[in-house]
Every structure is written in structure tokens, then in C-alpha cells.
Amino acid sequence: MQFNRVFTAFSALAGSMRASGSSRALEIDLGDFNQPSAAERAMMGVWVADGGATRLSLLPNGRYDKTLETGRDIYHGRYEVDGSRLYFEGDTGRTAIGETRRGILVLGDHRFVRPGARSAA
């Protein structure tokens, strides 16, 4: 029965806190939850590999598109950023892990760079 006394004490404490009027309503700006972090913003945008033959677009909404130079779509899905690592999950269920090192995004056997940067080879 010890638990019952503790529970009753907490209930009384919570009731007195509400009654004191010293607390105010909790304000949460839900819009901030959808804002990309600094690490995510650094990764967003277009990355190119294989002399421009493969393009990877990391979108602000956490989605990605991987296309060929011809415009043919290869993969679509979602991604998450954790520091220098990127976790990809395709709409088909395929998963991959990428990592950035000195401006190069390594994803499987591809090396992606920003357009105009040095070669990904």
C-alpha cells in the first residue's frame, strides 16, 4: 500500500500547483519540429557522381531522388542525417548508408560531389 500513499501525495502536489496560479500554459511551436537542422541543411541540394551521369537530390522535406543524366529516375525515398552520416530508405524498402568526407558523399560504390566541385572519381 506504500505506492498508494505516494500516488496520493503526487496528486495532492499536482493539484496545489494548478491551484496556485503560478504556472502558465505550455507553449510549443510545432512549426519548429519540421525545420531541418544545420547538418541537414548542409547536406541538402544536388550531388553528382560519375562525371554527372548520376544525380542525387536531397530535398528539404527529408525525401531524395536519384536520377540518371538522361533524366530517368532510379530511386526515390527518404533520408535522415546524423552528423556526417546519411541513412537512406527507398520507397521499395532498399536501405543504404552514406557518409560525407571532405565534401564528398560516399554512397555504396559511388562518390558524389556538389556540381562544380572537383571530380568524384
- Model pLDDT for residues 90-109, shown as the tens digit of each residue: 999 999 999 998 999 999 88
Among 30-39, 91-100, 108-117, which is the least confidently predicted range? 30-39
Question: Has this prediction a pTM greater than 0.95?
Answer: no
Q: What end-to-end distance do the CA atoms of the chain give, in Å?
A: 70
Domain locations in the chain? 35-112
- 36 versus 34: the higher-pLDDT residue is 36
- 50 versus 58: the higher-pLDDT residue is 58
Q: Which residues, other chains included, contact 79 with Cβ-Cβ below 8 Å and sequence gap of 6+?
A: 58, 62, 63, 64, 86, 87, 88, 89
Q: Could you tell me the pLDDT band of residue 70, with boundaries at 50, 70 and 90?
A: confident
Helices (H), the chain: 2-20, 38-43
Which CATH number does the domain 35-112 belong to among 2.130.10.10, 2.40.128.290, 3.90.1640.10, 3.30.1390.10? 2.40.128.290
